[in-house]
């Protein structure tokens, strides 16, 4: 247990990085693979350099993007109950970002007197470092073990539990996985849980497509900039010459799959050079690159996914308007 007090103790922060160069290697592999397919596609994790992370923060404040407010509302109403049910001494958070909403949970665990350690894992190094510094100041006695890494590849680097643990995966990020990899991801998370531990999972819910599409087509164009940011990342990291202005932001609800798709649509025929990969990529006018899916859930779908990962539902918590759900789950007995 770290020393309690008002100041920052050096021992209370430890940060491990597992990206060291492998971040750009994984970008190179994803670009090589994804931009040479008949239907071009990239995984969403490459949006999040520090500029992308800032844009995501602005998205969370947008009037159209209800998810963050709805999830916060649930946390504010139910964090105490979650703290009581879990008795958690540590909180692991996957895709932790700025850990803005996390404070509501940390407050509840701290008031319950059980909180000892916070373990954020994110690909964005600056976010892990700055949230660790801020949180040890805000929660005297808290130790933070940050993990800079990819939650698809580095879950085994999360340190073993020291006491009852909650693994939080908030913000609807699980919706970015297509169904097969979603279950694989949930099985990976289940391996982090002992019999007394819990998963706290945030998922956006199926609703009127107009509300869903508006959330990804904001009037200010912040989501469009966030979407185009992946091209800036490729330009910088792989010495490419995409002009982001050549691509239009597209976000549509696929009613069959019940997910939002974000795409970048070429406004004209073009050829971009990616020098680091010694390749040219051709886009026809109107051709699209899929950059993100964001699946929307029902309780039944989520329960099926949890069961496939060996997890059972403990609580299904929603906001007053039933827009978003927070699910507390544990290893099946």
Q: Which is nearer to ligand SAM, 95 or 146 (CB)?
A: 95
Provide the minimum distance between the beta carbon of 176 and ligand SAM in the complex, in angstroms, as a whole number.
7
CB 247 within 8 A of CB 266: yes
Provide the minimum distance between the beta carbon of 306 and ligand SAM in the complex, in angstroms, as a whole number.
19
Provide the minimum distance between the beta carbon of 4 and ligand SAM in the complex, in angstroms, as a whole number.
27
Provide the minimum distance between the beta carbon of 275 and ligand SAM in the complex, in angstroms, as a whole number.
25
> Residue 134 and residue 106: Cα distance in Å, rounded?
13
Q: Which is nearer to ligand SAM, 50 or 332 (CB)?
A: 50
Provide the minimum distance between the beta carbon of 280 and ligand SAM in the complex, in angstroms, as a whole number.
28
> Residue 284 and residue 299: Cα distance in Å, rounded?
40
Provide the minimum distance between the beta carbon of 168 and ligand SAM in the complex, in angstroms, as a whole number.
8
Q: Which is nearer to ligand SAM, 272 or 292 (CB)?
A: 292
DSSP 297: B
- Quick one: how many helices (H) and strands (E) in the chain? 9, 13
283 SS3 class: strand
* Separation in Å, CA 13 to CA 54, 107, 109, 126, 152: 23, 19, 19, 14, 24
Provide the minimum distance between the beta carbon of 277 and ligand SAM in the complex, in angstroms, as a whole number.
21
Q: Which is nearer to ligand SAM, 176 or 272 (CB)?
A: 176
Token look-up 């050096």 returns 10
Contacts of 250 (CB under 8 A, 6+ apart): 261, 262, 263, 264, 265, 288
Provide the minimum distance between the beta carbon of 56 and ligand SAM in the complex, in angstroms, as a whole number.
6
Q: Which is nearer to ligand SAM, 148 or 272 (CB)?
A: 148
Q: Which is nearer to ligand SAM, 146 or 171 (CB)?
A: 171
Q: Which is nearer to ligand SAM, 159 or 286 (CB)?
A: 159
276 SS3 class: helix
Indicate the length of the chain as a whole number: 333
Token look-up 């982001």 returns 244
Q: Which is nearer to ligand SAM, 122 or 319 (CB)?
A: 122
Chain-centroid distance of CA 60 in Å reads 13
Q: Which is nearer to ligand SAM, 146 or 283 (CB)?
A: 146
Provide the minimum distance between the beta carbon of 198 and ligand SAM in the complex, in angstroms, as a whole number.
17
Sheet holding 247-254, edge to edge: 247-254, 259-266, 288-295
Q: Where are the alpha helices (DSSP H) in the chain?
A: 22-34, 50-61, 66-86, 102-111, 125-138, 179-190, 209-215, 222-238, 299-308
Give me the residues that bind ligand SAM (CB under 6 A), please. Answer: 45, 48, 53, 56, 60, 68, 95-97, 101, 122-124, 127, 150-152, 170-171, 173
CB 59 within 8 A of CB 223: yes
């Amino acid at each position: 247990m770290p020393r309690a007090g008002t100041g920052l103790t050096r021992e209370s922060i430890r940060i491990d990085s597992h990206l060291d160069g492998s971040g750009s290697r994984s970008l190179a592999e994803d670009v090589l693979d994804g931009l040479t397919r008949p239907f071009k596609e990239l995984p969403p994790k490459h949006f999040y350099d520090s500029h992308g992370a800032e844009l995501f923060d602005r998205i969370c404040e947008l009037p159209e993007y209800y998810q963050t407010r709805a999830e916060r509302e649930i946390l504010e109403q139910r964090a105490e109950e979650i703290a009581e049910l879990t008795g958690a001494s540590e909180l692991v958070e996957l895709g932790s970002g700025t850990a803005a909403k996390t404070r509501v949970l940390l407050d509840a665990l701290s008031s319950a007197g059980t909180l000892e350690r916070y373990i954020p894992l994110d690909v964005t190094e600056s976010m892990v470092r700055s949230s660790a510094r801020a949180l040890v100041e805000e929660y005297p006695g808290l130790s933070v073990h940050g993990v800079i890494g990819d939650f698809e590849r580095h879950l085994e680097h999360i340190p073993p539990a020291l006491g009852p643990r909650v693994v939080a995966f908030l913000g609807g990020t699980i919706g970015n996985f297509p169904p097969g990899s979603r279950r694989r991801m949930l099985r990976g998370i289940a391996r982090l849980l002992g019999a007394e531990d819990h998963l706290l999972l945030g998922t956006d819910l199926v609703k009127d497509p107009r509300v869903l599409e508006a959330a990804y087509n904001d009037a200010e164009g912040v989501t469009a900039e966030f979407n185009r940011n992946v091209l800036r990342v490729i330009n910088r990291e792989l010495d490419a010459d995409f002009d982001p202005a050549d691509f239009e932001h597209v976000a549509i609800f696929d009613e069959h799959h019940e997910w939002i798709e974000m795409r970048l649509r070429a406004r004209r025929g073009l050829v971009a050079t990616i020098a680091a990969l010694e390749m040219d990529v051709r886009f026809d006018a109107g051709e699209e690159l899929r950059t993100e899916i964001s699946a929307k859930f029902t309780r039944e779908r989520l329960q099926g996914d949890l069961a496939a990962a060996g997890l059972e539902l403990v609580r299904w918590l929603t906001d007053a308007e039933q827009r978003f759900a927070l699910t507390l789950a544990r290893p099946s007995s």
